[in-house]
Chain A
Amino acid sequence: MEGAKGTLSADTSQDDLYRTAADQFGAALERLARAYETDPDKRRDLTQEIHFQLWRSFQRFDARCSTRTWVYRVAHHVAASHILRERRVSKLVSLEELDALPGKQPASDHSLNLERLAALIQQLKPLDRQVIVSYLEEMDAAAIAEITGLSPGSVAMRIHRIKNILARRFHEGGRHAQ
């Protein structure tokens, strides 16, 4: 049975665990894939790979952490490996560096905002990406720390920086659109 944070008992079968997790987090996993891959075909492949690895991982699931933490860890691991395989790491920036970069053309339309948001995330190094995606999925600092392995203080600092960057860029977008 699902708990508040999506906890499942360890004796549930691998298929059942996967099915429940896919139902509950399927849309979030698709959004996560968008944060890592711009190309739609590659993104579809990445989503499939995440689902495949998720199913495999549930063979070892022992309920030591919540299902949500488990699912997001697997998904981010697969996505980080994807970035490494594509050899893009050297072109990525940290949150500090992103803060210093100038924003692109502003836009007010909702879909354009999403594209701008995705484009902004896709510039980030994997660990910062994990933090921002988790933040956008409404997770608190403790949950993000559990997924990423960063200290809660470090996560809080990053979230603060993310909020500043996003607010500034989206606010600029809205202002220019008026």
Chain B
Amino acid sequence: MRNDSSQNDPRKVWQAQPTEPSMITLEKIRRKVRDLNAKTRRQLLGSVAVLLFVAVFYAFGVKQFPTLRLPFALPIAWSALGLYFLNRGMWPQAMPGDAALSTGLEFYRHEIQRRRDLLRRTLLWSFAPIVLAIATFLLAVAKLGDKSLFPNALPFMTLVVVWIVAYFVIRLRERRDLQREIDELNNLEA
């Protein structure tokens, strides 16, 4: 028969939970380090490849529409700068080695602040150039002067606008939630 006091003691219940024998070995950890380094390299190469693809696309646009050189060149420069600023603020796959010197409160607040700042940077360096590029693309289509293109493009353009607005609203809401969390943590110390 089970002891009633231990059955109702949450600490006993918690500590008595079944655990699996650990399958984590130092060899597995070292393999993870190697995988992590390879993944970081792949991600960086992927970002550069995307930027190159976008640059080629814009270069084609510039060639086709010489008068729109500036509107096409601006998103390229913006995206290139964004690549730098976004990668600088990306979630690190590994925590800083001295993270354990921070308390739970310090680390958690720092992580939320970083997440909030990353959202702002994403809007500024990734979302904004895309919006500009789409606007430029639409301008280029308008310059073609073919009015029959617009009715055909209307569903696509509507989808794009809905996506832009939804993305913007969701990110802003997320940012507001994070800010509220930061304020609550600040109040804990006040």
Contacts and interface: CB of A to CB of B under 8 A. Distances in A.
Contact of B10 (A77, A78, A136): A136
Nearest to B11: A136
A32 B144 CA distance: 62
A140 B184 CA distance: 25
Contact of B105 (A30, A56, A150): A150
Contacts of B29: 18, 51-52, 55
Interface of A: 15, 18-19, 22, 26-27, 30-31, 34, 47-48, 51-53, 55-57, 59-61, 64-65, 70, 73-74, 76-78, 80-81, 84-85, 87, 89-90, 94, 108, 110, 113-114, 117, 125-127, 130, 135-138, 146-150, 154, 166, 170-171, 174
A31 B19 contact: yes
B183 interface: no
B107 to A, nearest CB: 5
B17 A31 contact: yes
20 contacts: A22-B22, A34-B17, A48-B24, A57-B98, A77-B104, A80-B111, A81-B95, A84-B112, A89-B112, A89-B178, A110-B7, A127-B105, A130-B104, A136-B14, A136-B15, A137-B11, A148-B104, A149-B104, A170-B10, A171-B8
B32 interface: yes
B177 A31 contact: no
A126 B20 CA distance: 24
Name the interface size band of chain B. Answer: 35 or more
Given A26-B22, A110-B2, A135-B11, A149 B105 contact: yes
A146 B101 CA distance: 10
Nearest to A18: B26
Interface string B6-50: 011011011111011010101011001100000000000000000
B1 interface: no
Given A31-B17, A117-B10, A84 B115 contact: yes
B188 A81 contact: no
A174 B10 CA distance: 12
Nearest to B94: A56
A51 B33 CA distance: 12
B15 A73 contact: no
Contacts of B185: 127
Contacts of A65: 100
A86 to B, nearest CB: 12
Given A27-B19, A110-B2, A113-B13, A77 B102 contact: yes
